[in-house]
A and B are shown apart, each in its own frame.
Chain A
Amino acid sequence: MIMIRENAYLSEKLFDEDIEQGPTRSGYGKGLVEAGEKNKNVVALCADLTESTRTEAFAQKFPERFIQVGVAEQNLATAGAGMALAGKIPFVSSYAAFSPGRNYEQIRTTIALNEANVKVVGAHAGISVGPDGATHQMLEDIALMRVLPHMVVLYPCDVEEARKATIAAAEHRGPVYVRLARADTPIFTTTKTPFAIGRAEIFAEGSDVTIIAAGPLLYEALIAAKQLEDEQTSVEVINCHTIKPLDEKTILASVKKTGVVVTVEEHQVHGGLGGAIAELLGQKYPVPLEIIGVQDRFGESGNPAELLDAFGLSSPHIIKAVERVLTRKS
């Protein structure tokens, strides 16, 4: 039986059919209002996507602190940088394909190199964006953001964690990237589930294999772990919501125990969470690793569930990857 860690305080309905669902962007919307209530310096900028990035609630509650920039992502990042240099804590939101997709250099120079206290919020990341197709399914943003010095990269797994991540981002001094998804996914953490930037959380304890996941696919990893446990494979599942800075201590301790790793993310297999883990393990503790992600291709239209299956990201694929990696165990 899967060993869910008690002090992870996961939802009582974790594996129930009727577990509550929502998109992580909604958690951002709630968190942004809370951050705005806590600190009057929090401001929000949006590039003509106020409703779908869920910046709307903040805009209604604090109209004097909401700035509409129009369809202009370069200005979104740089006007945000200017506001940060004037003492504000700007959250700049758009779709990840456009920010950081289109305005990468502006983020690099005016936010990261400048150490401007800007929070870049990329919504609609991943293949699960669905019917909009490849142009809007951002799969390279973690790679873009995690190579920037000073940038913190957060990828929350559900609505509740996105709420906490947003508040934590506001309290963190310096540039942060927050990656959000469009689709409804299970809300399996609770208000009591611990969250701190830079600290990976062990959600399930096991001894045969470590699954390290980030974002909503973490739920698929838990489903996979549950089935594997039924087949007598003991699986440790780590929520690696902070991709940078990586919690090396927690990850290495787990890997030293299990000896093999599978990473899971809705991103290209190059440069994302899997890449970060490969860099860590390759240098500090080389063990067999399987990276679940998009295999160096662009997405396409479809509904989220069928795309996750077609692109090899859902729980049956995670189970197969675990089986593969176990055969490589020395």
Chain B
Amino acid sequence: MKQLSIKELELKANDIRQDLLKALTKAKSGHSGGPLGMADVFCALYFHIIKHDPKKPDWEERDRIILSNGHICPVRYAAMAHAGYFPLAELDTLRKFGTRLQGHPERMRLPGVETTSGPLGSGLSQASGMAYVGKHIDKKKWRVYCLTSDGEHDEGNTWEAVLFAAKYRLDNLTQIIDRNNIQIDGNTEDIMPLNPLKEKYEAFNWNVIEIDGHNIEQIIDACAQAQATQNKPTLVVANTIPGKGVSFMENRYEWHGVPPGKGPEDTVPKEKQLEVALQELQTWREEIEASPET
């Protein structure tokens, strides 16, 4: 795959956002906020950071992306489709009977999905198990990228994995947490406070890097720093805006679990939600195109 410039990556992330919203609207159910918030991270991973071959999803030497908070899978599906794992048109089958794009991702249905997920808190453990094999048993070069949510840090299973990954010095493991500060019932710091999150992880012997989760350069740099870190797993705290790119969805937990056409109507009526969202994203796209190459 040819190396994309930062600007090209930003455009790709914009395409991913537009496509995942279209797919969600057709599905008439699913999550909007999280996928929009993680589009830049997924774009950076699939189009710059990881070693992979979309035509050979089970290639032994590939880097592994474990999506722990499976409900944001529309962004993974859209990124995978753009990367060439399957045709873009298949995104229209999201959540429909017979689809490979299940409401929560399933390993046995779609090649390239490394594990089945949805129930929160178990991805980091699986990623750690894989990383253990890669580092200590098979001594392979491939890396494991585990994407988690802040909300799922309420789960005890997550912290069991945090202990495990530190004990076994899994420096081939990079966790990227979608720090968007919301969960289903409200703000994470109201529901079950996680702060000081960075200091917690450091006390658990993790290397921690905090970044703007919408700055693709920072995402790439953080993953490079993680790769250069020895004897510790790395946590990248990606500060993100849920619903990023669509003004009426941004920072609103009401948009956590609904698609365009089913969200709150206080600013945009239901039947206009997709159209307005796509217009906003298109405007953003044009701004990126007009910006100078960095």
Contacts and interface: CB of A to CB of B under 8 A. Distances in A.
Interface string B134-162: 10111000000000000000001100110
Contacts of A81: 115, 122, 125-126, 129
B133 A88 contact: yes
A112 B217 CA distance: 39
Closest 7 CB pairs of A and B: A82-B129, A78-B125, A82-B126, A75-B160, A79-B129, A86-B133, A72-B160
Contacts, number: 101
A79 B116 contact: no
B209 to A, nearest CB: 23
Contact of B116 (A83, A87, A90, A114): A114
Chain B CB within 10 A, most for which of A79, A81, A106, A109? A79
Nearest to A106: B122
B130 A82 contact: yes
Given A110-B115, A114-B108, A114-B116, A83 B129 contact: yes
B137 A78 contact: no
A243 B277 CA distance: 54
A109 B117 CA distance: 7
B163 interface: yes
* Chain B, interface residues (CB within 8 Å), range: 20 to 34
B106 interface: yes
Contact of B118 (A74, A86, A109): A109
Q: Which of B118, B126, B129 counts the most chain A CB atoms within 10 A? A: B129
A109 B138 CA distance: 26
Residue of A78, A105, A113 with highest tally of chain B CB at under 10 A = A78
Main secondary structure of the interface of B (DSSP, over half): helix
Nearest to A45: B129
Contacts of A113: 106, 108, 116
B130 A78 contact: no
Interface in B39-69: 66
A43 B137 CA distance: 10
B164 interface: yes
B118 A79 contact: no
B127 interface: yes
Contacts of B164: 69-70, 72, 75, 79
A115 interface: yes
A126 interface: no
B25 interface: no
B200 interface: no
B193 interface: no
B137 A88 contact: yes
B119 interface: yes
A306 B168 CA distance: 45
Contact of A79 (B107, B115, B137, B161): B161
B157 A75 contact: yes
A87 B133 CA distance: 9
B130 A86 contact: yes
B125 A83 contact: no
Interface string A78-122: 111111111110100000000000000110011001110000000
A72 B168 CA distance: 15
Contact of B127 (A67, A69, A82, A114): A82
A79 B163 contact: no
B273 interface: no
A105 B134 CA distance: 26
Interface string B240-281: 000000000000000000000000000000000000000000
B175 interface: no
